[in-house]
Chains A and B, each alone.
Chain A
């Protein structure tokens, strides 16, 4: 009997696996001689890969009942032909199919069954090349893709592939799939992926191993896992260190990368002076509150949701008639607004974009134009107004007349900002409601003309020349840029 070719072996197994679905109509092209069958069985003898069906197929002389060797193997033991074993390299992609066949019923399977679909046969040369283990990640096409199913897929790989063949490819594939399953920031998952590597095999044992990059593909794969951790800001822990030492040894490149990550992550952990929490609140009102607090440096400012009767509570943002409106105003701003000259208009400008981690929100501001220099009055506080503590404290660095820490430039001066708000919709009606709400704490606002300068949403700050007056033109424009905003919000959130 001729020696088996690898593809014939694969065809046999794939046909075997496929036959679950095709209802046993498929007759294997390859008629295996007993010798071939024995080779197969010997190499597969550690797993129960043959179903009961196969046992029936082979003949009634077969002893019934499960044993340490599956039916075929037992059959072959009685076979008179003996031959040296061929070590058949089996494609691990085939392996996960058969075990599921063990437990399934004899009923015919339709394609919609939740079983793993038939893997593409590599000999046919498919146009769309799938990754070697991609079917492991297609366990439940209707099922939810979450951590549990990801862990399940990984465990399937390790369980049915004791020798971990193709683990490098599998790990690269798993790294790519992490984002779909939403586990890219989970340290336990990364440790699980590192756990897939066989231990103690890739450690350098003598000086020649350590000079030359020992097992370069595996080291690159380890570095890729750590690099994805770095990209998502996941800090590795002691378990990672132990795994890396166990797999690659202490002098390897993944271990070096781990040491660097440990050093630089701890150095740069708290350098953001305006930290934003990792998990942003889903509720738009809470998000608006967080964002407004983030923007306003004055700590005595108050977030005034109660002032907006149409916002808050349970109003969902999808309701177009009642979007949430959250505003913030500090006491200094209130005082400035109270002193504002009613003859000059104030402007509602917006929307401007603010990024919180990866979410973009939009806000509007209420501001006045800068007073020309001749009209600016400097308020003088008489010195004896308060004898207990100084009202004005100038804590400049300058020690004496020779110290000058001022920059020789006139800073950009802009008009004062009186309040900031975040609303669900960016049209004039919503902002008018905001102004009405503001009037409760700023009674002078009722006498000041308010002009709405709502710009086309291009993500940049308004140019001063594109001011729109309160003309009938604004509602259609408002609607336009509301659409634009929503589009962009969807785009940024997608």
Chain B
């Protein structure tokens, strides 16, 4: 138990996020009350279930209250508050995942045989066929900075797609420092392994991102974040635009990874580098087109594939005018 406790703390140090004092000593009985109260305050699912603990830990990772309207406790989901049992189940779950991980390592990467992984040319990374698929995503809007946009995520028609909808409002918050506002985003959660260790996606064999969406004509922006092993890379991301057509037909959007440009803290950098695909941490969709009004985006699935006709490595040259040092 102490080992697990140390490991839990250790993972937080590795992730370089503020150590949450609440979850630090879940085993001490005096702290149980604290844990209970804090998890009851949060608008997430009932405490006492293993999933809730994972979610609170996810919440403490630094995303403040982003699951707006996502998880509402269903009335039949009455919590049976038994923390001993919950924590024991959680520990068992983590150990099971660790065991699976070790066993899968012998079979091949991620549990699939090596030849299957190497020959794979099209892979579905995120699909939306059930509620648990929606849990892998976080939705944010400019409410976090005081704006008025709203965004919600729910399962779409006949549980076969996800519907991201809401209202965009570019009214700037009156906080004295924001001049503009109005954005909504849907970001995927960082994949975690056993004991909440950070994982990443490895898409080095693929070269195109494939999305099957149905929008309303608004331009979206697709952002990819790389794995942050090295500190202070959390503001950097690679982005590109996704133009939806609108209309009742499903639209296939294929964006080659060579088209993604590099940006830091929301601004395009002068020195552009190629997106390296071996350590991808998350993908996100943002809407910030300065037009007030309702919007929706229906997503069927998100996949990656190898487009053999696409041979470009990187689409943006560095200009000697902007970056003289690169050309010395």
Instruction: Give the contact stretch, choosing among B20-28, B136-144, B155-163, B190-198.
Output: B155-163
Residues in B whose Cβ lies below 8 Å from that of A357:
291
A459–B246 contact, CB under 8 A?
A: no
Instruction: Give the contact stretch, choosing among B51-59, B84-92, B98-106, B314-322.
Output: B314-322
Q: Which of B157-210 contact A (CB under 8 A)?
A: 157-158, 160-161, 163, 165, 167, 180, 210
A464–B157 contact, CB under 8 A?
A: yes
Contact of A82 with B by CB under 8 A: no
B321–A295 contact, CB under 8 A?
A: no
B250–A461 contact, CB under 8 A?
A: no
A459–B268 contact, CB under 8 A?
A: no
Number of B positions contacting A (CB below 8 A):
51
Residues in A whose Cβ lies below 8 Å from that of B301:
407, 409, 411
Residues in A whose Cβ lies below 8 Å from that of B18:
none
A297–B293 contact, CB under 8 A?
A: no
Q: Which of B307-327 contact A (CB under 8 A)?
A: 308-309, 316, 319, 321-322
Contact of B233 with A by CB under 8 A: no
A268 to B241, alpha carbons, bound, how many Å? Answer: 9
Contact of B295 with A by CB under 8 A: yes
Chain A, residue nearest B267 (CB): A260
Q: Do A354 and B217 form a contact, CB below 8 Å, given A263-B319, A460-B296? A: yes
A264–B268 contact, CB under 8 A?
A: yes
Contact of B270 with A by CB under 8 A: yes
Q: What is the CB-to-nearest-CB distance from A404 to chain B, in angstroms, rounded to a whole number? A: 6
Contact of A488 with B by CB under 8 A: yes
Q: What is the CB-to-nearest-CB distance from A254 to chain B, in angstroms, rounded to a whole number? A: 14
Chain A, residue nearest B259 (CB): A271
Contact code string B105-142 (vs A, CB < 8 Å = 1, else 0): 00000000000000101111001000000000000000
Chain B, residue nearest A366 (CB): B248
A355–B218 contact, CB under 8 A?
A: yes
Q: What is the CB-to-nearest-CB distance from B255 to chain A, in angstroms, rounded to a whole number? A: 10
B248–A295 contact, CB under 8 A?
A: yes
Contact code string A342-376 (vs B, CB < 8 Å = 1, else 0): 00000000001111111010010101000000000
Contact of B303 with A by CB under 8 A: yes
Residues in A whose Cβ lies below 8 Å from that of B157:
412, 414, 461-464
Contact code string A452-468 (vs B, CB < 8 Å = 1, else 0): 00000011111110000
Contact with A367, one of B124, B248, B300, B316 (Cβ below 8 angstroms): B248
Q: What is the CB-to-nearest-CB distance from B276 to chain A, in angstroms, rounded to a whole number? A: 21
Contact code string A432-457 (vs B, CB < 8 Å = 1, else 0): 00000000000000000000000000
Contact with A405, one of B127, B250, B291, B305 (Cβ below 8 angstroms): B305
Chain B, residue nearest A402 (CB): B119
Contact of B94 with A by CB under 8 A: no
A267–B294 contact, CB under 8 A?
A: no
A272–B248 contact, CB under 8 A?
A: no
Contact of A274 with B by CB under 8 A: yes
Q: Which of A363-417 contact B (CB under 8 A)?
A: 363, 365, 367, 397, 402-409, 411-412, 414, 417
Contact of A50 with B by CB under 8 A: no
A397 to B245, alpha carbons, bound, how many Å? Answer: 25
Most interface-central of B121, B249, B293 (chain A CB within 10 A) = B293
B119–A459 contact, CB under 8 A?
A: no
Residues in A whose Cβ lies below 8 Å from that of B268:
260, 264
Contact code string B242-253 (vs A, CB < 8 Å = 1, else 0): 010111111000
Residues in B whose Cβ lies below 8 Å from that of A408:
122-124
Contact of B216 with A by CB under 8 A: yes
Residues in B whose Cβ lies below 8 Å from that of A259:
319, 321-322
Contact of A273 with B by CB under 8 A: yes
B321–A409 contact, CB under 8 A?
A: no
B217–A405 contact, CB under 8 A?
A: no
Residues in A whose Cβ lies below 8 Å from that of B212:
411-412
A356–B217 contact, CB under 8 A?
A: yes
A358–B291 contact, CB under 8 A?
A: yes
Contact of A314 with B by CB under 8 A: no
Q: Do A409 and B124 form a contact, CB below 8 Å, given A273-B243, A295-B245? A: yes
B210–A407 contact, CB under 8 A?
A: yes
A355–B121 contact, CB under 8 A?
A: no
Q: What is the CB-to-nearest-CB distance from B167 to chain A, in angstroms, rounded to a whole number? A: 8
Residues in A whose Cβ lies below 8 Å from that of B180:
231
Residues in B whose Cβ lies below 8 Å from that of A404:
119, 121-122
A184 to B210, alpha carbons, bound, how many Å? Answer: 37
Given contacts A355-B246, A397-B309, A459-B296, 13 further A-B contacts (CB under 8 A): A273-B243, A274-B245, A352-B216, A353-B216, A355-B293, A404-B121, A408-B122, A411-B301, A414-B250, A420-B247, A460-B296, A461-B298, A462-B157
- Chain A residues close to B by CB (< 8 Å): 231, 256, 259-260, 263-264, 267-268, 271-274, 276, 291, 294-297, 352-358, 360, 363, 365, 367, 397, 402-409, 411-412, 414, 417, 420, 458-464, 488, 491-492
- List 17 A-B pairs, Cβ < 8 Å: A260-B322, A272-B219, A272-B241, A294-B217, A294-B247, A295-B247, A295-B248, A355-B216, A356-B217, A358-B291, A405-B305, A412-B212, A414-B250, A417-B248, A459-B293, A459-B294, A464-B157
